[in-house]
Structure 1
């Protein structure tokens, strides 16, 4: 009766306490390690996400308008340079902590540069003078020296140029030029002498100091016919002062770059709020240019969804571990049932039983929890909370004493019979669990997901409750078909099938079955959601590039299609014509119909379907859209749902074409009718809700303008994107040289996008590492814990099966029949538990997908949870493995119990 014998009892039942200690250690390790690993992966993903942003996106730039300073002003550039520190000091602290590099620049307006070495046959040249911090340290002089003087009115302003600028201009150090401000007629208003005193080469052309626009490292091409080349030269602060006081307009800029290694997940919310405050705290007279909050908000959205998903997975694993600890404690108490019964028979009260069990638990389980906490603390990262480990250790320590109270109670009797009436307490508990699970699921769908950065208790508890409720329903339902099968087997020859199904139908393993279902459901949930995210990313990539390569530009010569088709590896090409911002008309005359801006996509749908099919992207094209039209009759159109509603309200674009809508496409008025309504279409971004897709018409010879493509879609193997960009650029230049467009701005270079690159970008998002970690521990942990729970389910009925098998062996049951009987008895338990868990895991995403925010991982594409064939094969494989594992555990246990001795009087193994 004395607790002093606790060490002796722990040593006597060392196997049971070792199992409890291992489960407690794993629980503490999971509670400690998961937050630390998640924090490390989140920080790594955030740094990679920030570093992958274009440098211009990470810059916080303050600028002024170009101003004319008084001629009597002094130290203009130096005075404004001092504001580099004062502007930063006014930023919110959360923003200041992330600033890495900073630059100040003073720049004059572009002025005409003339000189003896700049002949007119080289074109016109404009030069801007820029003084900035840190440039001499970031470059090496090729010839000459750095600018220093130029402050006096009669002195020349000293300038240094990059070798990539001086070379194309054909000038060297020592040359002298005239810099003039021109009026609208091209006549000089002001003139200063400029001396080229040095030529430099950047030490690292990719350093942040060279990212300021216009670039100092190249000569910018003219923006149109008759326009000058643009270049930027470096001068001293005295040189800027000299130009400014001579009447040159001058502007100032202060640029601060966010360092990727200074942005941490813990300050993400504060940083986003601080960036929102920058506009309010900016000094008067300055303009702020920043877009860094956009990628941060995107990452924060995906991080909130990933943490929520990880919390759901961790809740399933922790609930499974809690169930395993309870099962292990119950199994240990059952093995010591006689000891506890004797203790009560000798006058031991409830407090004595609790004290005896508590003394034993205190020797083992807190120490195991501490070891798990220490092991988890060895992992890099932060975020683990010791309070949760202490709570888990306390609960694990209390479980064995509480289960000891139930040992020895209940008496004898056939409690495993199917027809036995369930106790009122158990029935009430099951009904309560079912009701709470249903109400929780309903409230979760109605309320949605809370993205306040904390763990949502309702969201993490509903999947556990639903898995437990499904296990209870399966436990109530599965004996009935077995009873029918047993009756059929009773009329057949042989006893193995009859005895096996009869015993399987009477098996009472409520606790183990619930834990198995919970573990398998967690693993299946991870598999289904992971497959849904991968499928969503594939669909998002196919929507952006429904082929292998996509080319976007302005306008291309018609023969560009054939030129692209002739490239190595290209198997099919479809020209595209995309016109954003078009307004549909009521009639051909161009009367406005009250419908907003619409994106128009013209494509040869037959060739488009061929390209998509060769690229392995199934794109259904309605038959009416494949018909060849000439543009004189209403074109069949695929219209977005939002635009179709506006057409219906305006009475336009009816299906019969009696009152078509009209579009102006490259100067051609084309009528259209609605041939179908779609919610989305490849080539159209997910954020565009109003679009129309038309078949490429064969315009008549007297059409005002021929339709020319603005892009292409290619299908092929190992197509070289650089070659595609070169051919597309040549096609765009041929169109420009054809004389169709004269003057104006130069067209932008075509962009080439591959579907594999889009898919890789989606799969390499900042939180992808966190997702992979969560799905891995969920799938692997759920599978392993499910097998362990199945072992408990087998061991729970091992004593009864051992007695039955011993009796049957004495009655002549062969070893082969014994194995068959064991297989028939365990198969229903294994299949019911594994398949129930798999079904629950497959259905949980259907319930939770709308509230998990999974589109944050797929570029906005909706995630469709489906049970893929590979997952079905995995579940069946797990069932076979579980069955083999269960049979092995039972055989090992029977060998340990020595079935020949379990029938001795009073023997209870």
Structure 2
């Protein structure tokens, strides 16, 4: 057949070829655009993830010490050149992604006195620091920078940040004395004069140059009874003249903009390599390899989910292409029979179909490919899927035409149900066995360890959906036929005819496609709900109330001030400390046990907060019950602590809290407990003592858990900061007011943090696109199921209409015929989609999306409503498609022109 004749045939059957072209275009668009969007979302998530990490983890820091026996000879300036040397020595993948870099020299902190310090009680220790690029990153507000050429025996010149100068009451010209104290802590072994020559403001306070701890931009609050710490900026020459210890550091920041997700493994391996091969004279601190490994694990899990969802969508599209090609062949069966009757071979029929497909499919695939390239994202994905898609869809039409046999005018496929052949039954049993075996092997061996998408994991959901559809196809006609037999004994023909036709179960392929589509949508919904519930539990573990405010300490009456605030209905004080020793009694030295993290909570108040916030927190009775007036308080301990106490024979040990010793009685063992995120496996949870008279001093809470409507965060912050200030001023600690504000975290904020960075964008895209695409394609498959039997139904309805069937009865007959098919497909797909996450949960790695909290995938009651709603939508859509098709066919002409007209 000439191309011109083929073009006329394409025009004659334009609707069928247009449908194939649209499916081909959508498929090419998906295989091209989805990887691009995934790469873009991954890059954005990687940048957000690294930006949210503390500098101590995402920076590579080399340090070296110099003794304090005498002045160094241009030590600071000489070591500045090592910044480029160490960078050049890094492995190429790591060197390529490092951006900003700084060299610094830092002296030890010395006791500092001066007439301009703001209060006599203010204990301050000052350290001197020189940083490369500091003068470019700051602007002088007063005075000048320290000189690079100091006079002999002149005071050390320093510059202070604006906030540091204000908090310490210093200004340009202020003179200080830095003293090295003797062993007694009072006598001066050495003293150095210091003069403030400048005050500066940071151009960008969030810039990486200020990330070294403690930062030069503010005064560090005291730890316990310690002094305030401040850092003054000076020059290399000034540092070279000091006689006490100096630490040199070279810091490199990994630039997230230079890091690509494909380079994660190489960069992580390079970071681990420099840790192993560091120069012996240097110390190295870096957490880049751990950060990138964590992100890579989350990325692998998200890509695995995306691959599973994409496989379901592409399998649905493949089924739709097959249905569209089969429908086209069925509509042209008389033409193909006539060609064979006139001497044409099967090859002739296939050749004509191939020529016609070549005129439509490659162009449609090209359009989908171009549109996919226009989507925002990178073009790093492989291009081979596009020609494969074009080849497979182009070959679908001639292959089905070649397989077409008989079925000419006058054939009646709707009279009786066809008995399946042995070949077909063998194929169905084979699919069922392969699906079960693949699922078993996947559970047995787990995922592949190379970080790539596991082909077995991607194929198992589709195989299980196909197997379930085949089983449903063999099972669902039986109850329908039974109902039809019962309907035959009743009055009226609508129920009998509708159920009789539905019981023949002729729409096999559309049922399989609908099951795959619905299973994909249900899988997305169940996994998304499970991840959301896991994030809720993780947020509740971090903030088991509506809000949590923490600090170094609060004045005890801060609780009453929170309770008086409008909207706050319950308040619980808590006290958390890490690294506390365990004692065998109230006097002796600490027991030979590792330190523990201590959390002290007011159990009854905790129960009120949890109940008011409506959070699922299980509080043991040991904490919520009465606390003895004296003697040991009940406590929950971790399994590791419980084992140590048992081995040491301690039944009523003591633990140190804020300098006092508290006796406790282990009343239970728990693996974890709310508010103990990051506490490790050694912790003790104490009930708040009723009368802490046996303590050395009153207890000062380090936090408050609140329940209520958090509308005025500023008011909560003010009360917290005021309570912390009064804690530092009431004599509980030595020192002035802290500079660091209290930390306020709401439950909503903690929940948002779990889903607001990293791979969450990619995950959300996978769920939304998978659910929406699967539902739309499933509805399209239902339309094919309707159209597959439209001819025979048209004849039946035409005859019944001439016999007096009303329009209402006609719609009822349609609903009865289509409801079993649609209901079975939707229900089977929903059940498969709900069971897939339960089956695959151990190998999906869903805990990567919840901060480590386990994801409990279970059947959700909302799924029932979703199934019913989707079934009603699908049935209404099927009836609407049938009505439109009947209106187009004009049922009165069906009887005159015949079935194949």
TM-score (norm: length of structure 2) = 0.90
Q: How far is the alpha carbon of 1:42 from its aligned partner?
A: 0.9
- State which drifts further: 9-18 or 701-710: 701-710
Distance 1:39 1:810, change over 3 A: same
Match of 1:388 among 385, 388, 408: 385
Give the Cα separation in 2 of the matches to 1:211 and 1:79: 24
Task: Kindly report which structure 2 residues correspond to 1:281-680, keeping only aligned pairs within 5 A, or say none.
Answer: 281-382=277-378, 383-409=380-406, 420-450=418-448, 452-553=450-551, 556-578=554-576, 601-621=599-619, 626-630=624-628, 662-664=653-655, 666=657, 667=660, 670=663, 672=665, 674=667, 679-680=671-672
Task: Kindly report which structure 2 residues correspond to 1:259-298, keeping only aligned pairs within 5 A, or say none.
Answer: 259-298=255-294
Give the Cα separation in 1 of the matches to 2:328 and 2:859: 39
Distance 1:13 1:644, change over 3 A: farther
1:130-174: CA deviation from partner (whole Å, max 9, x where unpaired)? 333222222333344333354553555544444444455555545
Distance 1:80 1:18, change over 3 A: same
Determine whether 1:903 maps to 2:895. yes
Partner of 2:88: 89
Q: How far is the alpha carbon of 1:627 from its aligned partner?
A: 3.2
Give the Cα separation in 2 of the matches to 1:636 and 1:252: 49
Partner of 1:882: 874
Indicate if the aligned counterparts of 1:3 and 1:355 stay in contact, CA closer than 8 A. no
1:162-211: CA deviation from partner (whole Å, max 9, x where unpaired)? 44444555555456666665544655555666554444333333333233
Distance 1:661 1:457, change over 3 A: farther
Distance 1:616 1:223, change over 3 A: closer
Give the Cα separation in 2 of the matches to 1:334 and 1:574: 73
Give the Cα separation in 2 of the matches to 1:84 and 1:54: 22
Q: How far is the alpha carbon of 1:7 from its aligned partner?
A: 1.9
Secondary structure of 2:145 counterpart: coil
- State which drifts further: 764-773 or 637-646: 637-646
Q: How far is the alpha carbon of 1:824 from its aligned partner?
A: 1.1
Distance 1:686 1:860, change over 3 A: farther
1:244-271: CA deviation from partner (whole Å, max 9, x where unpaired)? 5xx3433322222223322222222222
Partner of 1:139: 138
Give the Cα separation in 2 of the matches to 1:741 and 1:839: 62
Indicate if the aligned counterparts of 1:634 and 1:660 stay in contact, CA closer than 8 A. no
Q: Which ranges of structure 2 fall in alignment gaps of 5 or more residues?
A: none
Secondary structure of 1:65 counterpart: strand
Q: How far is the alpha carbon of 1:665 from its aligned partner?
A: 5.9
Give the Cα separation in 1 of the matches to 2:825 and 2:592: 61
Q: How far is the alpha carbon of 1:821 from its aligned partner?
A: 1.2
Q: How far is the alpha carbon of 1:638 from its aligned partner?
A: 5.4
Indicate if the aligned counterparts of 1:159 and 1:196 stay in contact, CA closer than 8 A. yes
Distance 1:261 1:872, change over 3 A: same
Q: How far is the alpha carbon of 1:616 from its aligned partner?
A: 1.6
Secondary structure of 1:97 counterpart: helix
- State which drifts further: 351-360 or 539-548: 351-360
Distance 1:687 1:417, change over 3 A: farther
Partner of 1:33: 33
Determine whether 1:78 maps to 2:77. yes
Q: How far is the alpha carbon of 1:691 from its aligned partner?
A: 5.1
Distance 1:433 1:604, change over 3 A: same
Indicate if the aligned counterparts of 2:104 and 2:130 stay in contact, CA closer than 8 A. yes
Determine whether 1:208 maps to 2:205. no
Partner of 2:60: 60
Q: Which ranges of structure 1 fall in alignment gaps of 5 or more residues?
A: 653-658
Give the Cα separation in 2 of the matches to 1:687 and 1:739: 29
1:809-849: CA deviation from partner (whole Å, max 9, x where unpaired)? 23332333222211211111111111211121111111122
Secondary structure of 2:102 counterpart: strand
Give the Cα separation in 2 of the matches to 1:298 and 1:615: 32
Give the Cα separation in 2 of the matches to 1:429 and 1:521: 22
1:596-650: CA deviation from partner (whole Å, max 9, x where unpaired)? 7665544333322211111121334455654324166886665666777788x76
Q: How far is the alpha carbon of 1:293 from its aligned partner?
A: 3.4
Give the Cα separation in 2 of the matches to 1:590 and 1:115: 42
Match of 1:835 among 827, 849, 872: 827
Give the Cα separation in 2 of the matches to 1:212 and 1:313: 44
Give the Cα separation in 2 of the matches to 1:518 and 1:674: 52
Distance 1:214 1:894, change over 3 A: closer
Partner of 2:233: 234
Partner of 1:656: none
Indicate if the aligned counterparts of 2:417 and 2:505 stay in contact, CA closer than 8 A. no
1:305-332: CA deviation from partner (whole Å, max 9, x where unpaired)? 1111111111000000000000111111
Give the Cα separation in 2 of the matches to 1:381 and 1:160: 47
Distance 1:593 1:807, change over 3 A: farther
- State which drifts further: 738-747 or 376-385: 738-747
1:772-823: CA deviation from partner (whole Å, max 9, x where unpaired)? 1111111110111001000110111111111222222233323332222112
Distance 1:181 1:684, change over 3 A: closer
Q: How far is the alpha carbon of 1:525 from its aligned partner?
A: 1.2
Indicate if the aligned counterparts of 1:630 and 1:700 stay in contact, CA closer than 8 A. no
1:433-480: CA deviation from partner (whole Å, max 9, x where unpaired)? 111111111111122223533221111100001111111111111111
Distance 1:528 1:58, change over 3 A: same
Distance 1:803 1:111, change over 3 A: closer
Q: How far is the alpha carbon of 1:352 from its aligned partner?
A: 2.3
- State which drifts further: 30-39 or 388-397: 388-397
Secondary structure of 1:506 counterpart: coil
Give the Cα separation in 2 of the matches to 1:119 and 1:693: 40
Secondary structure of 2:705 counterpart: strand
Distance 1:744 1:660, change over 3 A: farther
Secondary structure of 2:66 counterpart: coil
- State which drifts further: 178-187 or 81-90: 178-187
Give the Cα separation in 1 of the matches to 2:486 and 2:643: 62
Distance 1:139 1:375, change over 3 A: same
Give the Cα separation in 2 of the matches to 1:908 and 1:518: 31
Give the Cα separation in 2 of the matches to 1:389 and 1:770: 23
Q: How far is the alpha carbon of 1:298 from its aligned partner?
A: 2.5
Distance 1:326 1:177, change over 3 A: closer
Secondary structure of 2:853 counterpart: coil
Please give the root-mean-square deviation of Cα atoms over the aligned residues, in Å: 3.5
Indicate if the aligned counterparts of 2:70 and 2:244 stay in contact, CA closer than 8 A. no
Q: How far is the alpha carbon of 1:105 from its aligned partner?
A: 2.0
Give the Cα separation in 1 of the matches to 2:589 and 2:202: 57
Secondary structure of 1:28 counterpart: helix
Indicate if the aligned counterparts of 2:547 and 2:710 stay in contact, CA closer than 8 A. no
Match of 1:823 among 801, 815, 819: 815
Task: Kindly report which structure 2 residues correspond to 1:113-124, keeping only aligned pairs within 5 A, or say none.
Answer: 121=120
Indicate if the aligned counterparts of 1:60 and 1:255 stay in contact, CA closer than 8 A. yes
Q: How far is the alpha carbon of 1:693 from its aligned partner?
A: 4.8
TM-score (norm: length of structure 1) = 0.90
Secondary structure of 1:903 counterpart: helix
Indicate if the aligned counterparts of 1:90 and 1:281 stay in contact, CA closer than 8 A. no
Indicate if the aligned counterparts of 1:548 and 1:755 stay in contact, CA closer than 8 A. yes
Q: How far is the alpha carbon of 1:578 from its aligned partner?
A: 4.3
Distance 1:22 1:697, change over 3 A: same
